[in-house]
């Protein structure tokens, strides 16, 4: 084949093979979705670029989402792959305004995994599901030979009900909306990173892995339809969520860097490693867009809860262009672009 004839399936980034960055929640992954998955899978029922899809089954409206978890290492301060697999999927339902009801679990085990480790992970899943009020309804197990997997991968699919509350969608964001975060950013990514061989460093940072169901429901109850959109800031962190908000709504998002809560230990670790805390994954933090007049009430409701005690107003939406503009601590402005990928692979 002549190089002139080659039509790369992911044109802008020119990949021929899957790279780690294709799974990292940034530009490369967005292109993989746009150029390979959507042309084959898209249909009117698939809610593009939402965390969960809304479906009608008979007279009922349900929300559905699926997520695979490949975190390395399996166990880290504040959680393990089991707590992640439950909370990650539960949170994707919650941020769409749904009440999580049911979960399925699919395990891919590597030959040689200690059954005691599997028991510990399964116990975490059971406990996290009870805490989030969801039931297990289906499961599957596959085993691959040693060296063809990595201890354990878990897929969870979640079903929720929209009987109560309004559906939240990043397409609902309007100019004037206030943008809030529910707490300090970057804890999960730094907690996992600190456990990696070759990178181990001393930190007391724990993963923030938790169900955000109560946070979302509290804001829904307090401000009703003034609650427009919500996302959990996982792969790609706050930066990815804000860019998704801007793209979906067409709004320009003006963010105050000094207003974004980051723990000093996370900030230090990021400075040491050359990482941007705003692009690092969280597993129990939400970003909210609410009508400006409801912002104070939403903040108050978040701050009452332990998980939301550091909630902050970080900026507001204005009329386009669809981009995220960060006002730095020095008073300058820069565009916060979607990263090519989160800098930390296998964080969830």
Nearer to a second copy, 58 or 331 (CB): 58
Element (H, E) at 313: strand 312-318
**Structural contact between residues 63 and 53, judged by C-beta atoms closer than 8 angstroms:** yes
Q: Which is nearer to a second copy, 109 or 259 (CB)?
A: 109
Give Cα 38 distance to the centre of its chain: 20
Cβ proximity to a second copy, 164 vs 328, nearer residue? 164
- Note whether 322 and 314 are within 8 A (CB): no
The residue (of 104 and 292) whose beta carbon lies closer to a second copy is 104
Q: Which residues fall within 8 angstroms of residue 58, CB to CB, at 6 or more apart?
A: none
CA–CA distance, 188 with 203 (Å, rounded to integer) = 12
Tell me how far, at minimum, the Cβ of 46 lies from a second copy, in Å. Answer: 6
Burial class (CB in 10 A: 0-12, 13-18, 19+), 35: middle
What's the min distance (Å) between Cβ of 3 and a second copy?
Answer: 15
Min dist CB 243 to a second copy, Å, is 18
CB of 56 to a second copy, least distance (A): 9
Do the beta carbons of residue 311 and residue 181 sit within 8 Å? Answer: yes
Cis before 321? omega within 30: yes
CB of 273 to a second copy, least distance (A): 19
> Cβ of residue 262: shortest distance to a second copy, in angstroms?
26
Q: Which CB, 123 or 300, lies closer to a second copy?
A: 123
Give the C-alpha distances (Å, rounded to integers) separating 25 from 124, 125, 201, 213.
25, 24, 25, 22
Q: How far is the CB of 126 from a second copy (least distance, A)?
A: 4
Task: Please identify, using beta-carbon distances, which residue of 11 and 176 lies nearer to a second copy.
Answer: 11
User: Is the CB of residue 300 less than 8 Å from the CB of residue 169?
Assistant: no
Give CA–CA dist 330/328, Å, rounded: 5
Q: CB of 298 within 8 A of CB of 223?
A: yes
Residue 299 Cβ vs a second copy, minimum distance, rounded to whole Å: 31
Compute the distance between CA of residue 286 and CA of residue 90 in angstroms, rounded to an integer. Answer: 13
Compute the least distance from the CB of residue 206 to a second copy, in Å. 23
Q: Phi/psi at 193 (nearest 5 deg)?
A: -60, -40
**CB of 150 or CB of 256, closer to a second copy:** 150
- Which of 37, 334 has the CB closer to a second copy? 37
In the complex with a second copy, the residue whose CB is nearer, 60 or 293, is 60
How would you classify the pairing of strands 152-161 and 60-69?
antiparallel
Candidates 274, 344, 275; CA nearest to 23 is 344
């Amino acid at each position: 084949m002549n190089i002139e004839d080659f039509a790369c399936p992911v044109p802008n980034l020119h990949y021929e093979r899957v790279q780690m960055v294709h799974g990292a929640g940034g530009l490369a992954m967005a292109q993989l979705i746009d150029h390979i998955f959507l042309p084959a899978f898209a249909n009117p029922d698939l809610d593009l670029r939402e965390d969960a899809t809304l479906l009608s089954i008979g007279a009922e409206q349900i929300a559905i989402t699926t997520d695979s978890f490949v975190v390395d290492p399996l166990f880290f301060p504040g959680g393990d792959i089991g707590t992640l697999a439950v909370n990650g999927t539960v949170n994707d339902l919650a941020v769409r305004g749904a009440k999580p009801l049911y979960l399925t679990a699919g395990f891919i085990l590597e030959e040689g995994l200690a059954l005691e480790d599997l028991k510990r992970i399964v116990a975490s899943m059971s406990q996290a599901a009870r805490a989030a009020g969801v039931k297990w309804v289906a499961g599957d197990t596959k085993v691959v030979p040693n060296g063809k997997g990595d201890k354990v991968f878990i897929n969870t699919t979640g079903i929720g009900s929209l009987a109560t509350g309004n559906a939240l969608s990043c397409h609902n964001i309007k100019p004037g909306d206030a943008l809030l975060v529910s707490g300090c950013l970057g804890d999960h990514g730094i907690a996992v990173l600190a456990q990696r061989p070759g990178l181990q460093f001393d930190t007391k940072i724990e993963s923030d892995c938790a169900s955000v169901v109560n946070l979302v429901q509290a804001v829904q109850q307090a401000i009703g339809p003034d609650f427009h959109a919500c996302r959990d800031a996982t792969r790609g962190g706050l930066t990815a969520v804000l860019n998704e908000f801007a793209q979906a709504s067409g709004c320009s998002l003006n963010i105050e860097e000094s207003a974004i809560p980051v723990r000093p230990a996370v900030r230090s670790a990021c400075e040491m490693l050359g990482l941007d805390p705003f692009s690092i994954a969280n597993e129990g933090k939400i970003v909210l867009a609410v009508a400006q007049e409801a912002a104070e009430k939403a903040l108050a409701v978040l701050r009452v809860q332990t998980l939301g005690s550091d909630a902050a107003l970080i900026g507001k939406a204005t009329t386009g262009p669809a981009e995220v503009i960060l006002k730095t601590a020095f008073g300058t402005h820069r565009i916060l672009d979607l990263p090519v990928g989160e800098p930390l692979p296998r964080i969830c």
